[in-house]
Amino acid sequence: MGSAVTHAPATEVPTTDPEPRHGPVKSPRPAALKRRGRRENLAGYLFMSPWIAGFLLLTAGPMVASLYFAFTDYNLFDAPRWIGLDNFSEMFSDPRWRHSVQVTLWYVVVGTPIKLAAALGVALLLAQKRRGQAFYRAAFYAPSLIGASVSVAIVWKAIFSDDAVVDRTQKLFGVDVGGWTGDPDLIIYSLVALTVWQFGAPMVIFLAGLKQVPRELYEAADVDGAGRFRQFWSITLPMISPVLFFNVLLETIHSFQIFSSAYIVGGGAGGNACGPADGSMVYTCYLYVQGFENSRMGLASAMAWMLLVAVALVTAVLFWSQKRWVHYEEGGR
Amino acid sequence: MQQGRDAEGRTGRRTILKAAGASLAVAGLGATATACGGGSGSGDGTVTIRYSWWGAEDRAERINKTIALFEKKYPKIKVKTDFQQYTDFWKKFNTQASGGNPPDVFQNAIGFLRKYDAKNVLLDLGEQVKAGNLSMGGFRAGLEKFGEVDGKLLGVPVGSNSLALVIDKPVYTKAGVTPEQGWTWDDFDAAMVRIRDRAGRAGDSGMYGVMYLYDLYLRQNGKAFFTEDGLGFTEADLTEWWTKAEKGVKTGLYADAKKVVQVKPKSALSAELAGSEFTWDNFTVRYTSEGKSEYGLAPIPTTDGKKTGQYLGSLMLSASKRTQHPKEVAQFIDFMVHDPEVAKIMGYDRGVPATEAQYQAYQPTDPVNQAIAAYEESLVEAGVLETITPHPNGADICEAAFLRIAEEMALGKRSVSEAVEQFFTESKTALAG
């Protein structure tokens, strides 16, 4: 046993160790032990060092830098110049910024519930025992796998353009709008459609949640003569509410961060990057324009921190609201 | 017993520490090795320079051929290339330049000279001319002065082009319109009506957003879009320009902006949404490969029947101030602008070649390129060409805002007065920065 421990001290099982490392130890030789502890820590930190370095260099460092830049005028070339809160006051008085906030909020408020409803609806269908169910699950999940890619956004743009599939179909029904992607008021709907189409991830989570609901509850409800809708409302929904909460939280945060699909459907390389007349100018899109097209990194940093604060607030509100509608098995927390 | 185990345990850990240390060292070596490989100098005196440009695949193919020629002639210089679409090019360039890692040599245009000179990015090639590595002789029509700003040579023209009205020939024929040098804006307006009524198509694709055309219109009236440090026109001027535009869009004289947006990156002209489009004359090459119709060139309408306000525009090659190889970069630029073989490969892709030697070397045989040559010839003969002042720092942002806000106006999202106000607000910010 001794030699095995020597080569792999990390796998030592505490119970077989005459001197357990966890918990209070009354040690006869504290100095030696301290040394040993330090060495162990050192090894630990050494193994963690790639991650720590990555975190400090790639996450924490840039965040601190961006927090500093948020209070400066910084064009990437000249040294940042401290201007206090000017970026924030400029932001609030900029009509394009306010417009981007409106577009984003609209997208989140309309898109997220529809996406979750679609995910839950399909999950309910797929939760039943049927032949070929595995195939359907895979088929419905597939869009989420490929959905984040640039190519799908390009295809989407082609589908919703003037005289393309959607436009022609509409014309069959006598509706002629001349394509969605060129219309400042309609383009955002095509983005909502794109996010709804990618309901696979929340669907899988819903599916897992639905599988957890005890069958007896439905059997009891059947005995009591409750209908399908009543069962869904009084059993399914409360039982999956933790899962629902998780999905609402995740999808809301996700929606706030929409960028690539809006950037590509809205124009990408040609002309205005944010859609016709800024019709699909979501928050991150405007942030990108300010940062990379107008070289105003200070302002862009301030915008990024504003977004972080907004998402944190929304998250806090959701957490606060959960005690009103989320039911945990042990009677809530 | 306990002691022995402790000792053993320690050795074990020491081994691990050593192993970890060794792997870190290996990683370190790896990093060093990579750093060496990425460097541009090597033992045998070969240097590598990075060259980037904007354009489509077609241009990339031609450029790669010219580079192969260059590397054959200068075996000690290797050229690494990179290209993007226009807007993406500048985003990438901006990021690279601010990080102190711009390409050694790159395609450039008039709107960016002052901007990047102010940011200390551009090499003054005048030194290399003095050193004999770059010749500024033999340029056509005074083009050698084109890249000079405040006495510094910041760019060397590779080709010249001029704004023109690119027309869909069959559409113009059907409408019975034949534009001639010296036609006026009233003639142009009448032509738009005839094209709409007789050919059933909008006459123009949206010229109200083309900054370079508006510049010509202003020049015809004794003003200009840019002065050396600001805007050279008033809110009243722009209100007049955009009021006419709004009316044109509403009455179908100009193409439906909603449709124009959706065919991008294709042009409204090649997508058959409009009968003509104001743009650079060398774009005819692109439109011919993009669209099905036959395209030709018509002159810029005038105010007084004489003055068009035109100047030769140009793509240039500029060098980075941080380049380690100014001499090789200068040799590269020299080769690209003077070598006759290069002209045969490039054709009029970047405009009509800037030097006499290259101009003579390439005689177009296809009608499109012949038309471009004839058009530029006619400009020289008509004596309409003027000189241009390099745009002020921030001009590129003004241009983008001008295009965007004009589009918003055409889409009906802004009234003319709102659009004018917004443009002046945004450009003041851009030009102050």
What are A185-222's pLDDT values in tens digits? 999 999 999 999 999 999 999 999 999 899 999 999 99
Q: Complex ipTM above 0.85?
A: no
Q: Which pLDDT score, from 0 to 100, does residue B229 have?
A: 82
Contact flag B94-A278 (C-beta cutoff 8 Å):
no
Is the model more confident about B212 or about A330? Answer: B212
Is A127 in a helix, a strand, or coil? helix
Compute the distance between CA of residue A32 and CA of residue B174 in angstroms, rounded to an integer.
99
Pair B283, B166: CB distance under 8 Å: yes
Rounded to a whole number, what is the distance in Å from the CA of B248 to chain A's nearest CA?
A: 18
Q: Which pLDDT score, from 0 to 100, does residue B11 have?
A: 42
Compute the distance between CA of residue B339 and CA of residue B73 in angstroms, rounded to an integer.
11
Residue in chain A lying closest to B101 (CA): A77
Contact flag A179-B262 (C-beta cutoff 8 Å):
yes
CA dihedral B344, B349, B354, B359 (to 10 degrees): 40
Question: Could you read off the pLDDT of B372-388 as tens digits, one per residue?
Answer: 989 988 888 877 788 77
N- to C-terminal Cα separation, chain A: 46
Token pair for B431: 């030009």
pLDDT at B344 over 60: yes
Is the model more confident about A7 or about B168? Answer: B168
> Is A100 a member of any domain?
yes
Compute the distance between CA of residue B208 and CA of residue B214 in angstroms, rounded to an integer.
7
Number of domains within chain A = 1
Q: How many CB pairs under 8 A join A and B?
A: 115
Residue in A2, A276, A295 closest to B258 by CB:
A276
Cβ burial, residue A91 (10 Å; 0-12/13-18/19+): buried
pLDDT at B110 over 90: no
Contact flag B258-A272 (C-beta cutoff 8 Å):
no
Question: Could you read off the pLDDT of B265-324 as tens digits, one per residue?
Answer: 788 999 999 999 999 998 888 888 888 999 999 999 999 988 999 988 889 999 999 999
Pair B67, B51: CB distance under 8 Å: yes
Interface probe for B, chosen from A1, A7, A16, A77 (most Cβ of B below 10 Å), is: A77
Q: Which pLDDT score, from 0 to 100, does residue B29 have?
A: 40
Identical fold for domains B47-160+313-373 and B163-312+389-431, yes or no, is yes
Question: H helices of B143-255, where?
Answer: 169-175, 185-194, 211-220, 235-250
Residue in A6, A8, A77 closest to B119 by CB:
A77
Question: Could you read off the pLDDT of B225-262 as tens digits, one per residue?
Answer: 998 889 999 999 999 999 999 999 999 999 999 999 88
Rounded to a whole number, what is the distance in Å from the CA of A274 to chain B's nearest CA?
A: 10
Strand-strand pairing, B47-54 and B105-109: parallel
**Chain B contacts in chain A segment 217-276 (CB below 8 A):** 267, 269-273, 276
SS3 content of chain B, % helix, strand, coil (to 5): 50, 15, 30
Contact flag A161-B408 (C-beta cutoff 8 Å):
no
Q: Which pLDDT score, from 0 to 100, does residue A25 have?
A: 52
> Is A225 a member of any domain?
yes
Strand-strand pairing, B274-280 and B202-204: parallel
Residue corresponding to tokens 């000690």: B76
Q: How far is CA A327 from CA A239, A240, A252, B192, in A?
A: 7, 8, 20, 68
> How does B382-400 read in b/e, with b if 16+ C-beta sit within 10 Å?
eebbeebebbbbbbbbbbb
Residue corresponding to tokens 């003077």: B338
> Is A330 a member of any domain?
no
| pLDDT confidence bin for A115, thresholds 50/70/90 | very high
Pair A297, A77: CB distance under 8 Å: no
* Nearest CA among B171, B342, B340, B195 for reference residue B271: B171
Pair B205, B274: CB distance under 8 Å: yes
Pair A260, A147: CB distance under 8 Å: no
Number of Cβ within a 10 Å radius of residue A333: 7
Q: Which residues contact residue A196 at a Cβ distance below 8 angstroms, ignoring those fewer than 6 apart?
A: A111, A114, A115, A118
Q: What is the CA radius of gyration of chain B?
A: 27
Residue corresponding to tokens 């409360």: A238
Q: Which CATH architecture has domain B47-160+313-373?
A: 3-Layer(aba) Sandwich (3.40)
Compute the distance between CA of residue B312 and CA of residue A180 in angstroms, rounded to an integer.
39
Rounded to a whole number, what is the distance in Å from the CA of B142 to chain A's nearest CA?
A: 32
Compute the distance between CA of residue A124 and CA of residue A41 in angstroms, rounded to an integer.
49
Which pTM was predicted?
A: 0.81
In sequence order, what DSSP letters do the residues of B150-174 get, joined into one string?
Answer: TTEE--EEEEEE-EEEEEEHHHHHH
Residue in chain A lying closest to B27 (CA): A50
* Nearest CA among B178, B199, B304, B213 for reference residue B253: B199
Q: Which pLDDT score, from 0 to 100, does residue A254 have?
A: 92
Is A274 in a helix, a strand, or coil? strand
Compute the distance between CA of residue A35 and CA of residue B132 in angstroms, rounded to an integer.
69
Is B133 in a helix, a strand, or coil? coil
Contact flag A269-B408 (C-beta cutoff 8 Å):
no
Report angle CA B340, B343, B348 to the nearest 5 degrees: 155
pLDDT above 90 coverage of chain B, percent: 61
Compute the distance between CA of residue A127 and CA of residue A149 in angstroms, rounded to an integer.
28
Cβ–Cβ contact A295 with B under 8 A: yes
Interface probe for A, chosen from B26, B122, B258, B426 (most Cβ of A below 10 Å), is: B258
- Helices B211-220 and B395-410 cross at an angle (nearest 10°) of 100
Residue corresponding to tokens 């750093």: B35
Of A305-319, B37-51, B97-111, B314-328, least confident by mean pLDDT is B37-51
The sign one gets for the Cα dihedral B174, B178, B179, B185 is negative
Q: For residue A186, what is the domain's CATH number?
A: 1.10.3720.10
Pair B281, B312: CB distance under 8 Å: no
| pLDDT confidence bin for A22, thresholds 50/70/90 | low
> Is A41 a member of any domain?
no
Cβ–Cβ contact A332 with B under 8 A: no
- Mean pLDDT, range B199-204, rounded to an integer: 95
Question: Could you read off the pLDDT of A67-77 as tens digits, one per residue?
Answer: 999 999 998 88
Cβ–Cβ contact A161 with B under 8 A: yes
Q: Which pLDDT score, from 0 to 100, does residue A78 have?
A: 86
pLDDT at A153 over 50: yes
- CATH number for B163-312+389-431: choose from 3.40.190.10, 3.40.1350.10, 3.40.50.2300, 2.20.25.90: 3.40.190.10
Q: Which residues contact residue A81 at a Cβ distance below 8 angstroms, ignoring those fewer than 6 apart?
A: A72, A73, A74
Compute the distance between CA of residue B259 and CA of residue B248 in angstroms, rounded to an integer.
15
Domain extent for A251: 85-323
> What's the mean per-residue pLDDT of chain B?
87
